[in-house]
Amino acid sequence: MIKYLIIFYLFIIYNFVVVDANRFTFVKEVSLESDSSIISGIYKASYQYYAVDGSKLYNFDLLDIFSSISSGSTVSNQVSSISSTLIPGEVPYSYLKLSKYNGTDVIGYITTQKAVIQIGSTLNSFTTKPFESTSPIIDNLWSTGGENNLAYIGYPYSINIITDGELKTRSLGQTGPLSLSCDFEEEKCFLASKTGFSVLYLGNSWGSTISSSTGSSNPRTGGIVSTRKRRVYYCVDSDDGVRLEAWSYFASQRITHLGSLGVTGTCKFVAFDERMGQLFILTTDTLVGMDTNGKNVNITSFPDAPMIVSMDIVSNSSSDANDQYNYLLMTRQSISSKSLIITKYNSFCPELCNNNGYCSFGACVCKSGNSRCGDSMEILSLSSEVINDIVYVTLQGFFHTPLDSTHLSVYLGSETIQDIVINNSSHVIFKLNKYIKSSSITVDINGLTISFTSDDIYPYPEIDYLYQENQYIIINTSMAFVSWYEQSIVLDESIVDYTISNGTNIKVEPKDNTHSSSYRVIITFNGVMVSYILDMEAYITEQLPTILQKSGDPLILRGLYFGLDPRLLLDGDPLVISSFVSYSQISTQLPSGIYNSLRVDNGSVNKTITLVYSQSPNSSTSYHSLMSPLTTIIFNILILLLSYFLFI
């Protein structure tokens, strides 16, 4: 089977556009009650906040706090934990990491220097996954989870994946990663280092990795996964200052440097609101908000940043553009106090979608009957497939609604696509039944346009097998051929005819007078060319005579693919070629006797011919047909023994 692996390594630099309007509004600071200093915290749905100090896990209910913010009513600025429990192990711990799980069966995970502790659905239900030994540091220990999945870095450094109760482990050598994050639906985990990024494959491809390097060594913070964009975002402390970096894991692996943020300090935390399509970076002195393309940036000085020990998102699921209460929840720990800083952030959609829609996943979803509620559309990906000789192209992204034949047009190059089969706010699917030489797609919705360029509009067959079958070359592919593709096959430098059978097989017959023993096969689909080398064995179309005599015969072989300078081997010994005509006929003289095989060597592949004689080898008088001396001695002894017993 012929397979290829292509890794794209692409740098795209965006200029950050800083918006004047302040996206952040300070709302409230709430004091927390705990036995000692808060080390780490996470926010879960239904206004539940969890935090750890060196010994205990705390649960705080923030419903009253956020209800008062929404209604404008007055409520206490102090909140006590509704429950707490002692963390398993040798407490107190000097440092802990608390990471969350978005499901309901598990609250989250506590990473210590000795183990990962899974917090079940209740506060005091713990499951401990101990390491082989105690880590001297915790900066390179991480844990993350998904439905029926847990991934964590253990010590000695290894990545451990538990899926449906089954543990798989892979060693990471002497150095742990700077972060660990996973997309369990895609069966991939992502590990960052100072020099780059690695993808670890789960499932059937468990243990295999693909790594890319930036060519420089810089600390990375974050590892925020956008499952919709199939990107992993990092905050990078580079020589040029703090920058946002995104690694794509859709179809190929590529790095997108979204540019320097132009702020001072170093990276502390990264938070992500996927529904709103917003990223937040906290440095040691600055809070930065932006969209997932590094645009619409807002930078705010944040003097309390050095005391922040965690940052999370509280995002309301409301679909009303005028009622989007979205908050950053930051845990502040000073020498004398601990508190939650609640900061409201606004949608980045232009003019709040002109008050005619709401912002979802970073794009405007328009209210019914209005298709110009915002100016931002985005095409995230393109995929295509062949069904019954028709190419179906799917654009996935964010599109204005409503989409109908009156408002929607799709262009491939300068040609209008007539057959649009599905359209909604996240997908546009259209059909192609002819080849249009363009890689540029434009979607026009009521005068608002977005363009997308891709070389993957037309699916191309992957060549699975390329082999010789008698005089033919057979090309087997992974998908059916499309009859209207512009396609050709060249052997060496000559275009040849071909036939297609079973939809996925091409049969090529080279010219009758060919003498080649090896072909360069060039296959072209819509201008995309792939090349292969195929060695041919001699193909015998005729042997004269077919039945040989023991006395020796002149022998003629006619056929194809004899090469420029063939050799004959008779039972392994060279045989002289008396004539070689037009590269398609070999003449020779067989010596007397009976031989097993004749081998034709064309310089690439040996072809063996079994020789057939008119008489049994036992009747031959040549030395090849006589009994060997040992056989003769044994035969004579048997005759003497038989005579002896007969005459006793």
What mean pLDDT is predicted for residues 311-319? 72
Given this model, what pLDDT does residue 645 score? Answer: 63
8 Å CB contact between 478 and 464: yes
Given this model, what pLDDT does residue 513 score? Answer: 57
Given this model, what pLDDT does residue 15 score? Answer: 38
CA dist 269 and 280 (Å) reads 8
**10 vs 219 pLDDT, higher one:** 219
Given this model, what pLDDT does residue 373 score? Answer: 63
pLDDT for residue 622 is more than 60: no
Reported confidence tier of residue 249, pLDDT bands at 50, 70, 90:
confident
pLDDT for residue 18 is more than 50: no
Name the residue with tokens 């499309």: 482
CA dist 479 and 462 (Å) reads 7
Alpha-helix runs per DSSP H in 284-434: 351-354
Given this model, what pLDDT does residue 231 score? Answer: 85
8 Å CB contact between 315 and 274: no
pLDDT for residue 364 is more than 60: yes
* Residues contacting 442, CB < 8 A, separation 6+: 410, 411, 449, 450, 451, 452
> Strands 577-581 and 585-589: what pairing?
antiparallel
Burial of 239 (0-12, 13-18, 19+ CB in 10 A): exposed
Given this model, what pLDDT does residue 276 score? Answer: 77
Pick one of 2.30.30.830, 2.60.40.10, 3.40.470.10, 3.40.50.1110 as the CATH number of 539-619.
2.60.40.10
8 Å CB contact between 536 and 520: no
8 Å CB contact between 590 and 557: no
> Is 357-453's fold the same as 539-619's?
yes
pLDDT for residue 271 is more than 90: yes
Average pLDDT, the chain: 81
pLDDT for residue 128 is more than 80: yes
Closest by CA to 312, choosing from 361, 265, 269, is 269
Closest by CA to 615, choosing from 589, 592, 631, 598, is 592
Given this model, what pLDDT does residue 56 score? Answer: 92
Range scoring the smallest mean pLDDT among 8-17, 518-527, 540-549: 8-17
What mean pLDDT is predicted for residues 131-144? 87
Domain 357-453 is found in CATH 2.60.40: yes
Given this model, what pLDDT does residue 10 score? Answer: 30
The CATH architecture one would assign to domain 463-535 is Sandwich (2.60)
Pick left, alpha or beta for residue 123 (phi over 0 → left; psi -120 to 50 → alpha; otherwise beta): alpha
Range scoring the smallest mean pLDDT among 66-75, 80-89, 389-398, 411-420: 66-75
CA dist 545 and 581 (Å) reads 18
3-state secondary structure of 343: strand
pTM for the full predicted model? 0.60
Phi then psi for 317, rounded to 5 degrees? -90, 10
Percent of the chain past pLDDT 70, that is, above it, reads: 82
Enumerate the domain spans of the chain: 35-148+155-163, 357-453, 463-535, 539-619
Alpha-helix runs per DSSP H in 21-173: 63-71
pLDDT for residue 237 is more than 70: yes
Given this model, what pLDDT does residue 8 score? Answer: 29
CA dist 555 and 609 (Å) reads 12
For the sheet with 48-52, list strands across it: 40-44, 48-52, 56-61, 81-86
Given this model, what pLDDT does residue 329 score? Answer: 93
Given this model, what pLDDT does residue 374 score? Answer: 61
Reported confidence tier of residue 351, pLDDT bands at 50, 70, 90:
low
pLDDT for residue 20 is more than 50: no
Given this model, what pLDDT does residue 256 score? Answer: 58
What mean pLDDT is predicted for residues 523-542? 88
Reported confidence tier of residue 512, pLDDT bands at 50, 70, 90:
low
Distance of alpha carbon 86 from the chain centroid: 41
What mean pLDDT is predicted for residues 298-319? 84
What mean pLDDT is predicted for residues 485-493? 87
Reported confidence tier of residue 587, pLDDT bands at 50, 70, 90:
very high
CA dist 31 and 112 (Å) reads 26
Q: What is the C-alpha end-to-end distance of the chain, expressed in Å? A: 72
Sign, CA dihedral 401-405-411-417, equals positive
Given this model, what pLDDT does residue 635 score? Answer: 63
What mean pLDDT is predicted for residues 180-208? 88
- Cis check for the bond before 545: say yes or no (omega within 30 of 0): yes
DSSP per-residue letters across 389-411: TEEEEEEEEE--S---TTTEEEE
Given this model, what pLDDT does residue 625 score? Answer: 40
